[in-house]
Structure 1
Amino acid sequence: MTRFDHMCASGAFALALGGLLCLIPDAASAHIIRGAQGGFGSGFEHPLTGPDHFLAMFAVGLWGAQMGGRPVWSLPVTFPLIMVVGGILGIVGVPLPFVEVGIAVSIIALGLAVLIAWHPAEWIALLFVSVFAICHGYAHGAELPYAADPADYAIGFVVATGLIHLCGIGVGLVLNRPLGGRLCQALGGVIAIGGLYYLVA
């Protein structure tokens, strides 16, 4: 193993450990806003402190980088756009059952897509992530009316989501090269295990 491969392996281990540590917080409180939230700052903080959302957003960027080509940017751009649709459904109170289950399944499915290095046609990948984006958007749209400044909260949330996507893309581009991309696939497996945790929790 070269020095570069060793560094990548160490980085992958650190990311995997970080992902597992993300599972420690109580999953039941992931989409509950307590009291009046402050706006942009609270919206920006929420995706970074909600491990379920973080893992899904990270996996989208990771999968896009693994696929290469247009999906590197089309997947991370499509996900938040479709989240807006789900958010509107949540704000107006359209019933959507099993949203939390859908969020957990999204983490499992996206992690498995990376684990098996699935390379479907781009439109299939976009449809795949869009279904899960509805669930994520709905959960946060339903809580949005309770924020002190819903518009600023939403902006902060979207900005943080984009940064998580970029983080996933960066890590994917680095880990997809050494060892035939197996480090990237292994990280997908860790993400899928995180989704399984949320599903049973």
Structure 2
Amino acid sequence: MRRISLALAAILFATPAFAHTGVGATSGLAHGALHPIGGLDHVLAMVAVGLFAWRLGGRALWLVPLAFVAMMAVGGALGVFGVPVPYVETGIALSVVVIGAMVALGGGLPLGVAAAVVGIFAVFHGHAHGSEMPETLSGAAYGLGFMAATAFLHGVGILAGAGVTTVAKQPGAAMVRAGGAATSVAGLALLGGVL
């Protein structure tokens, strides 16, 4: 827990040691918030985390997204400081495949396992965000931006799951499972370089 706290502090208060330069004038908060929304792979995985949390229900509604956001912050700190994480793009694409499949197949996973699975994939997403942070931006604002956008996308997934099943319980649940399956297939397309 101490290491996670240190990593979170590092991403929020650090000046990047290794990052790409930015394009255009924008604030760190806005740039950080737009980064997760700008990539199909990130959007699919993050909405799927919300759908998965909704499928599990109970405490998972907040613990699974929280695990993702916390571990994404750790991955972001690694990216900001130039700590290499192997196979980042593959890990991101696999997150879409696996989390989509978990949505399609339903609950049944213990909460700790579900949080661990999404947390592992979150490190890849966070590393991508952190390593692509423009040198001219504030690490704290940028980190808050991408964490807020991620939490928003998780909320979209939770609300989508709740919404479709409120409107039509049985068809809604089937639609959520179908959405998970479609997400997983999209992840396979990302892995194959088709998307």
Normalization by structure 2: what TM-score? Answer: 0.81
Q: Which moved more, 1:129-138 or 1:141-150?
A: 141-150
**Equivalent pairs, count:** 170
**Does the CA contact (< 8 Å) of 1:147 and 1:153 recur in 2?**
no
Q: Which residue of 1 aligns with 2:15?
A: none
Residue 13 of structure 2: aligned partner: none
Match of 2:98 among 97, 109, 114: 109
Q: Once the 2 structures are TM-superposed, how far is the Cα of residue 129 of structure 1 from its aligned partner?
A: 0.6
TM-aligned CA deviation for residue 150 of structure 1: 3.0
Unaligned runs of 5+ in 2: 1-19
Cα distance per residue 1:44-83 (max 9 Å; x no partner) = 2222221111111100000010111111111111101111
State TM-score, norm by structure 1: 0.78
**Matching residue of 1:190:** 182
Gaps of 5+ in 1: 1-31
Distance in 2 (alpha carbons) for counterparts of 1:147 and 1:66: 40
Give the structure 2 partner of residue 158 of structure 1: 147
> Could you list the per-position Cα deviations for residues 19-61 of structure 1 after superposition, in whole angstroms to 9, with x for gaps in the alignment?
xxxxxxxxxxxxx875356222222222222111111110000
Q: CA RMSD in A?
A: 1.8
Q: Is the 8 A contact 1:66 1:173 kept in 2?
A: no
1:69 maps to which residue? 58
Q: Percent identity?
A: 38
Structure 1 position 138 matched with structure 2 position 127: yes
Do 2:22 and 2:136's aligned partners in 1 also have CA atoms closer than 8 Å? no
Query: In structure 2, do the counterparts of structure 1 residues 95 and 171 end up closer, same or farther at CA, with 3 Å as the change threshold?
Result: same
State the AA in 1 paired with 2:173.
Answer: G
1:35 corresponds to 2:17: no
The runs of 4+ residues in structure 1 deviating greater than 6 Å are none
Matches within 5 A, 1:8-47: 34-35=22-23, 38=26, 39-47=28-36
Distance 1:97 1:182, change over 3 A: same
Q: 1:89 aligns with which of 66, 78, 86?
A: 78
Q: Give the whole-Å Cα distance in 2 for the aligned partners of 1:149 and 1:36.
A: 15
Aligned residue type for 1:159: A
Is the Cα–Cα contact under 8 Å of residues 50 and 157 in structure 2 kept in the other structure?
Answer: yes
Which whole-Å CA distance do the structure 2 matches of 1:37 and 1:154 have between them? 17
Q: Secondary structure at the match of 1:69?
A: coil
The answer as to whether partners of 1:44 and 1:157 remain within 8 angstroms in 2 is yes
Deviation at 1:179, TM superposition (A): 2.8
DSSP 3-state at the match of 1:46? helix
SS in 2 for 1:120: coil
1:156 deviates by 1.6
Matched residues in 2 for 1:137 and 1:180: separation? 31
Deviations 1:138-189 (CA, angstroms, capped at 9, x unpaired): 1111112535333222222111111111110001112343337111100001
